[in-house]
Amino acid sequence: MNILPDWLSHYRRSALAGDLTAGIIVTVMLIPQSLAYALLAGLPPEMGLYASILPIVAYALFGSSMTLAVGPVAVASLMTASALQPLAAAGSAHYISLAITLSLLSGGMLLLFGLLRLGFLAHFLSHPVISGFISGSAVLIAVGQLKHLLGVSASGHSALDTLLSLARHLPDVNTVTLAIGASSLLFLWAARKYLARLLLALGLSAKLADVLGKLAPMLAVVVSTAVVAWWRLDSTAGVSVVGAVPQGLPALALPSLQGVGVLLLPALLISLVGFVESVSVAQSLALKRQQRINPNRELLGLGAANIASAFSGGFPVTGGFARSVVNFAAGANTPLAGVVSAVLMGAVIAAMTGLFHYLPHAVLAATIIIAVTSLIDLETLREAWHYDKADAVSLLATAAGVIAFGVEAGIVLGVALSLGTLVWRSSHPHIAVVGRVPGTEHFRNVERHAVDTEPGLIALRVDEGLYFANASLLQDRIEALVAAQPETRQVLLVCSAVNLVDTTALGVLTELERSLHARGIAFALSEVKGPVMDRLQATPLGQRLQGRIFLSTHEAFSQAQQRTDG
């Protein structure tokens, strides 16, 4: 058995140049992001760096995507903060220990889901719910960062709360901090909007221009750090800076299992959301190169990454959208690009953490705000609004839930709404009276198509499995149709769309058949699917219906016609 991953044992030398370039570029992007997301998670900056070394290597060994860039990301960091803030003071030793435990739990769950091949669980998060969740989280994150931009302290349980608290603290604004924050924000915004275009105009290739455009945050970090350090703005003007970051590689340590109970639900939600986010990025990148992603392998890869994060003093990580796209565009061919990043990050933390001392928090906040605004996804909302209002409502409710009540309540609300919509729809099925499309053996809705019907025969198609929540509705509809057409001698239920008849519906159909029979009306079925038929045959209703279950609606109509003619 080959214990090396496939990409490594078959590594082609031709892939090396791309992997090296991508690894270097991603590192330059990763340094400010890892510091910023640690800040967002309420953790000391070095934990962001720790979470960007071993987890990448672990994913490279176990994951299935060639180009996914794993590490701290905005939404998982927000979810970490939201899970831990009720339990301990942000930044305290207990808080740090809980973050590490959360990463361990989340990794363990992902690994377990991968081993049990439960990758499909992610499908229970619908696309609109995920989109609403991420957009809502982005708003929550951006609002939460404003205090760093203004240099004030403010807090709140919801976005509105935080804004009100900010408004109250407006008189305390640190103008120097605000100047640094606002100019960074403006620079990053302009860089995102114009830098790539400018570089293109200067004669760079489109790809290179695009990749270099993503390095603007590093430039902002370097310049602002230099400015603060030169004028010692931290002591002279009270600008909040990162301060001393411990130097040296993270020590490997057994994570504590304290607080496991209360962290189970947050860990589950972080795992699921992180997995879904990560797989969708990995899948869309893989499709561009005709590669395949294995969801169960992804679970193992992300699980290993989070466990590695926990053992090396990090916090929950997953595949990030922006970094993966840059990794892909910069020419990454294999996970070696990630390993290159990890080695470079290791070098940074081993020798260069002193460089971050004067890095102002306001710049990190600006980086976060610019990064998350690109996560706000109005396109899916627009599409859903035009295509399916119920999905649009789920999306908006999830986003509103996140903004008003926090990430956990928001996602639970979203899932409940999307499942509720599903059940609601199936409890109100579309029921159509059908007739024959002239000259064919095909049957369609009498209200939508010019079709022929048979006197004395009501043929109706119910477009849903029959179960407890809709069986009585079908019964009422049939009774109403029969009452309106007293000449009815046969009721034919076209079962082409009936995928299920549960015990309750079986009872209702049995009663319906008896009641129609008592009035001299025959009840018949057509196009009953194999799995439904298998179960129906053994029941009393199945016995009574013998000879009245037709393979096709055509057969049923032909027989009814013969009876009328004869």
For a second copy, the binding residues (CB under 8 A) are 120, 123-129, 287, 380, 383-384, 386-388, 391, 418-419, 422-423, 425-427, 429-430, 432, 437, 440-442, 444-445, 448, 463-465, 467-473, 496-500, 502-504, 506-507, 511, 515, 527, 529-531, 535, 538-539, 551-552, 554
* 224: three-class secondary structure by DSSP: helix
Q: Please report how close the Cβ of residue 459 comes to a second copy at its closest, in angstroms.
A: 15
Minimum CB distance to a second copy smaller for 225 or for 418 = 418
Closer residue to a second copy, CB minimum distance, 379 or 487: 379
Backbone phi, then psi, for 209, in 5-degree steps?
-60, -40
Amino acid at 428: H
Query: How far apart are CB 263 and a second copy at their closest, in Å?
Result: 24
CB of 291 to a second copy, least distance (A): 12
Cα–Cα distance between 48 and 97 in angstroms, integer? 14
Structure tokens at 453: 């019907």
Q: In this complex, which beta carbon is closest to a second copy, that of residue 104 or of residue 417?
A: 417
- Choice between 128 and 360, CB closer to a second copy: 128
Look up residue 452 and give its DSSP letter.
B
Query: Which structure tokens are listed for 370?
Result: 């610019």
Taking the C-alpha atoms of residue 281 and residue 295, their distance in angstroms, rounded to an integer, is 12
**C-alpha distance from residue 438 to each of 304, 391, 441, 452, 566 (Å):** 62, 38, 8, 6, 22
Instruction: Name the minimum Å distance from CB 120 to a second copy.
Output: 7
Q: Which H or E run includes 557? A: helix 553-565
Q: Give the separation between CA 348 and CA 474, rounded to whole angstroms.
A: 68
Q: Which residues on adjacent β-strands are paired with residue 431?
A: 462
We find the least distance from the C-beta atom of residue 381 to a second copy, in angstroms, to be 10
> Which residue, 204 or 500, has its beta carbon nearer to a second copy?
500
Cβ closer to a second copy: 234 or 377? Answer: 377
Q: Return the axis-axis angle of helices 93-115 and 74-84, rounded to nearest 10°.
A: 120
For the CB of residue 493, give the shortest distance to a second copy in the complex, in Å. Answer: 14
Nearer to a second copy, 251 or 538 (CB): 538
Give the residue with the Cβ less far from a second copy, 256 or 427. 427
d(CA 437, CA 435): 7
User: How would DSSP label each residue in 380-440?
Assistant: HHHHHHHH-HHHHHHHHHHHHHHHHH-HHHHHHHHHHHHHHHHHHHHHS--EEEEEEPTTS
